[in-house]
Structure 1
Amino acid sequence: MKTLTTTQELADFCETAAQYPYVTVDTEFLRERTYYSKLCLVQLAYPSDDPDSAVLVDPLADGISLDPLYQLFQNDTVVKVFHAARQDLEIFWVEAGIFPTPMFDTQVAAMVCGFGEQVGYETLVRKICKEGVDKTSRFTDWSRRPLTDAQKTYALADVTHLRKIYEHLATQLDKSRRSHWVAEELRILTNPATYDIRPEDAWRRVKTRTNSAKFLAVVRELAHFREAHAQQNNVPRSRVFKDDALIEMASTKPKSMGDLGRSRLLLREARKGVIADGILAAVKRGMDCPPDQMPKPDNSRENLKVNPALADLLRVLLKSKTESAGVAAKLIASSAELDQIAAGERDVPAMTGWRFEVFGEDALKLCEGKIALAAKGSAVEVVSL
């Protein structure tokens, strides 16, 4: 098991890898104690029987630069293959401001090829490679050095089996002419907006039971402060204060350090210093917010006039279509999106791109009364009217 610890070693490997049609990539990282993931290891492999075709890259080694890897990522002649790439891509976007291109995500491809919803790497190894994966090192501290042989073996397996998985799925996609389906999904993964967490929008992720504009104004300011503080200090947002404490403060609206000291849910560290000052200032901003600038709750779901019977028919149609197409239903439409369609909305993902080909077109016809569903044995058939 070869571990690259210098820039030159990495450059030599990337120069060789650039001669092949693809390279498989994975990362190991820590995020429990930081806001941004700390990159601890990169695994790479190109298609070859050479023992040195699969390596580990130690980004924590003294003096090493990942620039050769980033140059390989931007090489348009080499496909970069990941499994469940979102967290990996976020790391590289934050670290270097780039996305690997072109890229391929075997989890997305597996969903398109009928392996189920969000299928795990171990499942694909078992079904395609007919082998098992030792996951005993999954929860180890990847920032500690030296790495054990068990850790290295575990990490390397994440890119060696990926070669066969990629070739198998790519072949299936070519045969079924569904490569463009995967390409549509990957455009979301390589969109900077997917990873751009704006502090001013952080309040939308906080679950509340109250839709009072004044209450939400305080929630917005508290969530904004927490997100900005977490980003600036690279600490998890829960280390600043948790959602339950945020809701408590939005309800009690503390005005002084003494008020913060009476909180049941606020962490001790948040009752003094910079965080305490930030909380009090955020609450005041929320309370002083002019009515025309207060956040407006999203009541669109509550206002939907859903036809329950039609929504049920759409669920049957989706199940029938995905079973016959061999694609995961979750990849096409969620239950909430089916309700939106049943309520007359058309601006949903299921009505665009390849999803429209598989499901959306017939869903529209069903809503318009142009088709019906009929049972034939254990199958459901579409009947034109």
Structure 2
Amino acid sequence: MRTIITTEDLAAFCLAAKAEAYVTIDTEFLRERTYWSKLCLIQMALPGAQGEAVLVDPIEGHAMSMEPLYDLFRHEATVKVFHAARQDLEIFFVEGNVFPKPLFDTQIAAMVCGFGEQVGYETLVKKIAKENLDKTSRFTDWSRRPLSDAQQEYALADVTHLRVIYEFLAAQLAKNGRSAWVEEELALLTDPAIYTVEPEEAWTRIKTRTTSGRFLAVVKALARFRESYAQGQNVPRSRVMKDDALLELASTRPQTVEELGRSRLLMREGRKAEIAEGILAAVKAGLEMRPEDMPKIDASREQMQVNPALADLLRVLLKAKSEALGVAPRLIASSADLDAIAAGERDLETLSGWRLEAFGEDALRLCRGEIALSAKGNEVRVIRL
């Protein structure tokens, strides 16, 4: 096996990849102690059983430029194949401001091809490649060097078996005419907004049932400070303070270091001077926020008048449609989506694109009383009225 640690070698491999129809890619990273993922290893393989597979080591090759890889990502004649690509894409977007194009995610393709919800790589290796993965290196600290032969072989297996899986799934999609469905999902994966957390909007990720404007103002100020500090220091936001501690502070609203010290949930890290000062300043900013600037929770979903009988019928319809199509139900619609449809909402992702064709049109007909559902044995049938 070959490990690349120089820009020249990386450029040569990427040039070879540009001549191929596709290249399989995976990464190993750590995120337990940082805000941003620490890229530790990149694995790539060219097509065919004898196609070269390499490890790209950004730790040993710390002076290596990743620009040849990013140039490959921009080369539209070669498909970049990943499995469960979201975290890989975040790394490359944050570090190189680039998304692989065109992109193929075998996890999404597998859900469209009837392999179930969030199907794992190991499952696809067994079912499609007819191989077993050696799992002994699964919990490796990928930042430590040197890597053992077993670790390197484990890492390479993530891209060598992926070749067989990709070719199988791509053929299935072409056969059943669902390639456009996968492309629609992949377009969502390459939306920069998914990977960009603006401190000003960080409060929207915190779950609370309290709708008090002043309480939410303090939550917003605390969340803004926490996100800015975590990004600037490259530490996990939980190291600054966890959500339960943030909500406690928004409720108790400490004004002094002494009052802050009475917090039950704030960890020792959050009591350090720099963070403590930021917390107190954020509480002060929240308390001084003008009423017109206070955040408001969208209570529309809480106020939805859901027709429970209709929601149950929609669940039956979804199950019938997903089984007939061989598509994971959750990929088509979530339970919350079904409740929203039953409550009269129509501006939903599940009522657009390929989902509209697969499920949405009949869901709307069911809501309008234009179709009914009947059962015969284990089969659910749609009957037009």
Equivalent residue, structure 2, for 1:372: 372
SS for the counterpart of 2:255 is: coil
Matches of 2:159 and 2:383, distance apart in 1? 46
Matches of 1:270 and 1:320, distance apart in 2? 51
Equivalent residue, structure 2, for 1:204: 204
User: Cα RMSD between the aligned structures?
Assistant: 0.9
Equivalent residue, structure 2, for 1:24: 24
Counting matched residue pairs gives 384
Q: CA deviation at 1:300?
A: 1.5
> In structure 2, what residue type is equivalent to 1:46?
L
Q: CA deviation at 1:266?
A: 1.2
Equivalent residue, structure 1, for 2:91: 91
Does structure 1 retain, via aligned residues, the 8 Å contact 2:48–2:163?
Answer: no
Matches of 1:14 and 1:291, distance apart in 2? 55
Does structure 1 retain, via aligned residues, the 8 Å contact 2:80–2:101?
Answer: yes
> In structure 2, what residue type is equivalent to 1:117?
E
Q: CA deviation at 1:172?
A: 0.2
Encode CA deviations 1:266-306: one digit per residue, 9 max, x unaligned.
Answer: 12232232211110010011111111111112211211011
Equivalent residue, structure 2, for 1:63: 63
| TM-score, structure 2 as length reference | 0.98
Equivalent residue, structure 2, for 1:351: 351
SS for the counterpart of 1:301 is: coil
Equivalent residue, structure 2, for 1:322: 322
SS for the counterpart of 2:301 is: helix
**Alignment map for 1:326-337 (pairs within 5 Å):** 326-337=326-337
**Alignment map for 1:130-145 (pairs within 5 Å):** 130-145=130-145
Q: CA deviation at 1:194?
A: 1.0
SS for the counterpart of 1:303 is: coil
Q: CA deviation at 1:91?
A: 0.2
Unpaired segments ≥5 residues, structure 2: none
Equivalent residue, structure 2, for 1:360: 360
Q: CA deviation at 1:352?
A: 0.3
Matches of 1:324 and 1:339, distance apart in 2? 22
SS for the counterpart of 1:28 is: strand
Does structure 2 retain, via aligned residues, the 8 Å contact 1:257–1:272?
Answer: no
Equivalent residue, structure 2, for 1:167: 167
| TM-score, structure 1 as length reference | 0.98
Does structure 2 retain, via aligned residues, the 8 Å contact 1:76–1:101?
Answer: yes
Matches of 1:107 and 1:158, distance apart in 2? 13
Percent of aligned pairs sharing the same letter: 67
Q: CA deviation at 1:133?
A: 0.7
Equivalent residue, structure 1, for 2:245: 245
Equivalent residue, structure 1, for 2:185: 185
Does structure 2 retain, via aligned residues, the 8 Å contact 1:73–1:80?
Answer: yes
Encode CA deviations 1:206-260: one digit per residue, 9 max, x unaligned.
Answer: 1223221111111111011000100011100011111111111111100001111
SS for the counterpart of 1:302 is: coil
Matches of 2:25 and 2:64, distance apart in 1? 18
Does structure 1 retain, via aligned residues, the 8 Å contact 2:230–2:236?
Answer: yes
Mean alpha-carbon deviation: is it higher for 286-295 or for 183-192? 286-295
Equivalent residue, structure 2, for 1:54: 53
Q: CA deviation at 1:145?
A: 0.8
Unpaired segments ≥5 residues, structure 1: none
Matches of 2:103 and 2:120, distance apart in 1? 19
Does structure 2 retain, via aligned residues, the 8 Å contact 1:137–1:154?
Answer: yes
Q: CA deviation at 1:33?
A: 0.6
